Structure 1
Amino acid sequence: MKPLSTEAFAGQVVTDVSATLSGVMTNIGHKLGLYRALAGAGGLTSTALAAKCSLAERYVREWLNNQVAGGYLVYDKQDETYLLPEAYVPVLADPESPVFLVPALEVAASLWLDEDRIADVFRTGEGIAWGEHHHRLFCGSESLFRPGYKTFLATDWISAMDGVAAKLEKGALVADVGCGHGASTIVLAESFPASQFDGFDSHDASIAIAQDRATEAGVARNIRFTTVDAQSYPNEGYDLICFMDCLHDMGDPVGAARHAAKALKADGSVLLVEPAAGNAIEENINPISRLYYAASTAVCTPCSLSQNVGLALGAQAGQRRLSEVMEEAGFTSVERVAETPFNIILEAKLA
């Protein structure tokens, strides 16, 4: 990849700064219901949109023009109306869509709020525990991951594994390690009511939220949430153990995988969901990897380095490195069973 000219590179940085500032506008548009009001409404004037959302027209007009300049909305100069194209609705206005990306801006906001601390660990080489970040990271991560879990977890990822769906339909014991707010655990419990699910996380506050979420969803009867780390939960003979977007965050992922091997039935499986990545830097020169490397620098790598061992896999470890971790822990088979633009899905087995 050849370097750009100074002028061209300056243009790239201007684009990045523009996107950074406009990200605040996108998040505000979501929180104030502006995208939802525009969705399916055809072209609206600034006055009509402001009235629909009970907001001040002058601010709404300036926000709309920012969105047009960024290509998020289409402006009709004859009618002075603003249109949210139908194809953009799943990305900006549908929280249940697997490509609803607005919550990523909450994650970005948490990084700005933690900026001084992140800069400090560059100097010290120390880590930052997950629970030490700003709370917007936790809520943003849950909202960002949950739609993908709802769309793909039970129907695509579990069904692609070797006989796992049949076990869960009949009644199986499942552990969701590093469950956070319980989004993936709850999706599984809703999809497979005959099975029992244990959600484990070392972050007390997340477990408390997960318990509330399970009660709200009406699945508390077949879910147990416990505050415990990835190497201390009981060896109960699980049919399935899940690591959902979390193994790379762990200080000792080999130890966590080794504990999973001990807690798993001989014919059980591990479901490993990790950020999409190639096996080398040159395979990761793209916008998604750029996003993940940033999150990895600020959150994932410090999280691992705050724990024992501190292997610091990073969010762009890739399938080859992840397979090495699982094989070192005693798994003899690691295969990619599914993928999305944002994730790779691996199944690991003992035999």
Structure 2
Amino acid sequence: MDQNKLTEFLGRFTSDLAATNAAGSIVIGHRLGLYRSLAEGPATPEEFAQRTGCDPRYLAEWLRGQAAGGYVGYDPGTGRFSLTEEQAFCLAAPDGPNLPAAFLLALGMLRAEPRITEDFRTGAGVGWHEHHEDVFVGCDAFFRPAYVAQLVTSWIPALEGVEAKLAAGARVADVGCGLGSSSALIAQTYPRSTVLGSDYHAESIALASERAAQAGLSDRLGFEVSGADTFTGADYDLVTMFDCLHDMGDPLGAARRVREALAADGTWLLVEPFAFDRVEENLTPVGRLYYSASTFLCVPNALSQPGGYALGAQAGEARMRELVTEAGFTRFRRAAETPFNLVYEVRP
């Protein structure tokens, strides 16, 4: 046995276990607004307790753990904890990436561990709707900042002729819309266009409709409870799917429905997790993140539905091209990418 390799592996384990244990504390900070409060300025635990109304002993332990993980700073001379501008942007800013929401999603999905463990033996599935509500809320809260940052500034402009159509007034179907953040963003940015969001999860659609009404968008943004192969309407100028095709039990059926629903010169904006085609190329931190989520969310959901597919979150571009071609599309290209997503333009 190589002692250096053993020590290296144990170091990796310690880091992983510490990060796993810290997830609960990060979610507590998110729920209680602790990061937002600390962004107001440095504080000792006692000062922080006065600011937040929380117990100082709990806060002391929380702050020390956050400092040990590099999520907050600590000044031993003053005993105060603080956030740098960069930490505050990632953890507390309203227009930031809202990283704590990712931990909310992670803890939500891990609640299903006993069920997933049993399904490893049986091959059964767990539907998206069967997970804890933190999965739905956390997923929306974590993905929304990326859509705000990329969708109308980068992804849509990368599509041939689509931005002009939306500005002039287009028909849009946002399939697998979840809580409707992507649908609302399109409706807000292109007020002459109409958007129909659809998702099979009734609770998500109810919340999406409520948010649309609160935002004053109900006249041009509607929602329906339907699967990706049954959403209503025709002659859409744009159909969008964000990080959801790989979750479906019958992605081919969904792709065929999109082909049927598009106008002759319409476009399908398909956004999927970043993945290479070869397994060994996905053995990265991002790949690990997606494979883990896929084990608890994507593959179980697909196995819970008819269709016979379980693409998983790391399906890769070649598999996507093969699937949409089988569905009857003739044009497929990678229009944009980020470290976390691949953005495809698919056309009849």
TM-score, normalized by length of structure 2? Answer: 0.96
Look up the match of 1:22: 22
Whole-angstrom distance in 2 between the partners of 1:289 and 1:122? 21
The residue type equivalent to 2:167 in the other structure is: E
Question: CA-to-partner distance for each residue in 1:164-221, whole Å, 9 max, x for gaps?
Answer: 0100010110101111111110111101110111111111111111110111111111
Q: Report what 2:167 is aligned to.
A: 169
**1:307-322 to 2 correspondences below 5 Å:** 307-322=305-320
CA distance 1:167–1:4, change in 2 (3 Å): farther
Output one character per residue of 1:38-77: Cα deviation in whole Å (capped at 9) or x when no partner. Answer: 2152x32222212111112121111111111111122111
| Residue of structure 1 in register with 2:95 after alignment | 96
Quick check: 1:68 aligned with 2:77?
no
In the superposition, the TM-score normalised over structure 1's length comes to 0.95
Distance 1:322 1:232 in 2: 20
CA contact (8 A) 1:173 1:195 kept: yes
- C-alpha distance in 2, partners of 1:206/1:103? 17
| C-alpha distance in 2 between matches for 1:346 and 1:292 | 19
| Deviation for aligned residue 1:7 | 2.3
**In 2, Cα distance between the equivalents of 1:186 and 1:106?**
23
Does residue 250 of the first structure (1) align with residue 248 of the second (2)? yes
Equivalence for 1:138 = 136
> Cα 1:4–1:306, aligned 2, differ >3 Å: closer, same or farther?
farther
Residue in 1 aligned with 2:83? 84
Name 2:283's counterpart in structure 1: 285
Report if the CA contact (8 A) 2:199-2:227 is conserved.
Answer: yes
| 1:88 CA displacement | 1.2
CA contact (8 A) 2:239 2:269 kept: yes
Structure 1 residues 59 and 339: alpha-carbon distance in aligned structure 2, compared to 1, 3 A threshold: same
Query: Pick from 266, 269, 278: which aligns with 1:271?
Result: 269
Equivalences for residues 1-351 of structure 1 within 5 A: 5-41=5-41, 43-97=42-96, 99-350=97-348
Letter in 2 for 1:303: N
- Whether the 8 Å CA contact 1:235–1:264 is kept in 2: the answer is no
Identical columns (%): 46
| Separation (CA, whole Å) in 2 of partners of 1:296 and 1:332 | 29
Please say if residues 207 and 227 of structure 1, whose CA atoms lie closer than 8 Å, have aligned partners that are also in contact: yes
Q: Does the residue aligned with 1:174 lie in a helix, a strand or coil? A: strand
Q: Secondary structure at the match of 2:43?
A: coil
Cα distance in 2 between the residues matched to 1:4 and 1:234: 60
Runs of 4+ in 1 over 4 A off after TM superposition: none
Cα offsets for 1:129-178 (capped at 9, x unmatched): 11111111111111111111122111211111001010001011010111
| Partner SS for 2:219 | helix
CA RMSD in angstroms, aligned pairs only = 1.5
8 Å contact 1:248–1:300 — kept in the other structure? Answer: yes
Where in structure 2 are there 5+ consecutive unaligned residues? none
* SS across alignment from 2:179: coil
Listed one character per residue, the Cα deviations across residues 79-103 of structure 1 (whole Å, up to 9, x for unaligned) are 1111211111221112432x32111
Shift of 1:36: 0.7
3-state secondary structure, aligned to 1:221: coil
Distance 1:3 1:210, change over 3 A: farther
Q: Which amino acid aligns with 1:77?
A: P
Q: Deviations over 1:272-312 (max 9, x none)?
A: 01111111111112212111101101110011111111311
- Quick one: which amino acid aligns to residue 72 of structure 1? Y
Alpha-carbon distance between aligned partners in 2 of 1:3 and 1:250, rounded to the nearest angstrom: 45
- Identify unmatched segments of 5+ residues in structure 1: none
